[in-house]
Amino acid sequence: SQFRQVPRDAAMDDAHALVPQGGETCSHANGLCSKTYTRHGVFGVTLWVDTCCNQAEVLEVMCQDLSALEVAAPASAWQRILASPVAVWVNETFTYRGAEGEAVEGRGSCLHVSPEWLRGHGNMPEKANSVEIYCWEHYKTWDLGGG
């Protein structure tokens, strides 16, 4: 495989393997930025990764983070996550329209719930019910532990 396999606990089954999705892509432009995403599967979660990102790096980090989440979350919660249609959208950077039509450089990440809000702000309504990482560098480097 072109991707490094993360060491797995013997209890994990093959459904948790890193699964490239055959290069399926989708594109979006909003007048402020233009994106093409490549689809991947990691630990049962769909990832749409900006083609400007280092794909191997994103997959390695997300594999580690989703593995940690699977271990930390109660089994019933993890199963609900996997049963939902949620996806994670990863951007090198992302600019969207603010409330007054101004350009807003996305920071951090968020959960999108409203296709109408997404459409109104120049984003893809298909991202509703998904997590979006606006800036990959922020995701990799922000210390969420307060240390």
Q: What's the confidence (pLDDT) of residue 121?
A: 92
DSSP 108: S
User: Which of 100, 105, 92, 119 is closest to 30 using CA atoms?
Assistant: 119
- Buried b or exposed e, range 75-109, using 16+ CB within 10 angstroms: eeebeeeeeeeebbbbbbbbbbbeeeeeebebeeb
Q: What's the confidence (pLDDT) of residue 147?
A: 54
User: Which of 48, 45, 132, 131 is closest to 95 using CA atoms?
Assistant: 132
Q: What's the confidence (pLDDT) of residue 113?
A: 92
Q: What's the confidence (pLDDT) of residue 29?
A: 85
Q: What's the confidence (pLDDT) of residue 144?
A: 65
CB 45 within 8 A of CB 87: yes
CB 131 within 8 A of CB 88: yes
Q: What's the confidence (pLDDT) of residue 8?
A: 35
Q: What's the confidence (pLDDT) of residue 85?
A: 81
- Kindly give the parts of the chain with pLDDT less than 50: 1-21
Q: What's the confidence (pLDDT) of residue 44?
A: 87
